[in-house]
C-alpha cells in the first residue's frame, strides 16, 4: 500500500517558510490562513462578477476628455450648473453640503478668472504713426546696443 502525503496548507510566512498545518476537508489552506469552515463566498456568489458597466463609461469619458484636449478650458458651464445645484440645495439641504457647494463654486470661479487673465489677448492694430515710432525706437535701441558691444 502506497502512502500519499496529506495535503499541507502551503501558505508562506515572511521568512519564506511554508505552513505545515493541514487544511480542513474541501479547503486548500489551514484555519489560520483562510481555510476556516464557513469562510469564503458561498458557491454561485456573483458579488464579484465583472460586468464591464463602468469600464465602458470610463472609456467614453476618456475619449471625451481627449477630444476636448485641444479646446481651451472653459469652466463657465460647470459654474452655471453648480449655481443651479446651489439654488436648489439652499432651501432644504444640510448646511455642510451647502458649504461644500459654495466652496467648490468659489474655487471654480477663481480658476476661471485666472484662465481669463492668462489667455492671450488680441491687441488692437497700431496706426501707422505708432508703428513708425516703435520701429524708430527699436532701431535706436539696436544701434545703442551694437555701439556698446552688448548685442
| pLDDT above 70 for 101 | yes
DSSP state of 56: H
Distances (CA, A) of 47 to 53, 56, 94: 14, 19, 33
pTM of the model: 0.34
| pLDDT above 80 for 12 | yes
Q: Quick check: 83 and 104 in contact, CB under 8 A?
A: no
Q: What are phi and psi of 88, to 5 degrees?
A: -75, -40
Angle of CA points 84, 88, 92, to nearest 5°:
155
CA 18 to chain centre: 41
Specify the pLDDT at position 3: 58
pLDDT, tens only, 51-97: 676 677 777 777 777 776 666 667 777 777 777 877 777 777 777 77
Amino acid at each position: 500500500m502506497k502512502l500519499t502525503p496529506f495535503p499541507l496548507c502551503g501558505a508562506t510566512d515572511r521568512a519564506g517558510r511554508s505552513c505545515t498545518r493541514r487544511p480542513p476537508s474541501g479547503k486548500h489552506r489551514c484555519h489560520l490562513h483562510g481555510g476556516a469552515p464557513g469562510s469564503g463566498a458561498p458557491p454561485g456568489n456573483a458579488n464579484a462578477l465583472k460586468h464591464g458597466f463602468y469600464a465602458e463609461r470610463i472609456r467614453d469619458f476618456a475619449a471625451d476628455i481627449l477630444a476636448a484636449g485641444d479646446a481651451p478650458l472653459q469652466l463657465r458651464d460647470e459654474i452655471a450648473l453648480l449655481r443651479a445645484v446651489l439654488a436648489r440645495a439652499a432651501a432644504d439641504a444640510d448646511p455642510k453640503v451647502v458649504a461644500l457647494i459654495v466652496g467648490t463654486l468659489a474655487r471654480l470661479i477663481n480658476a476661471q478668472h485666472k484662465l481669463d487673465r492668462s489667455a492671450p489677448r488680441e491687441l488692437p492694430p497700431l496706426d501707422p504713426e505708432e508703428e513708425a515710432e516703435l520701429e524708430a525706437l527699436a532701431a535706436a535701441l539696436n544701434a545703442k546696443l551694437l555701439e556698446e558691444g552688448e548685442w
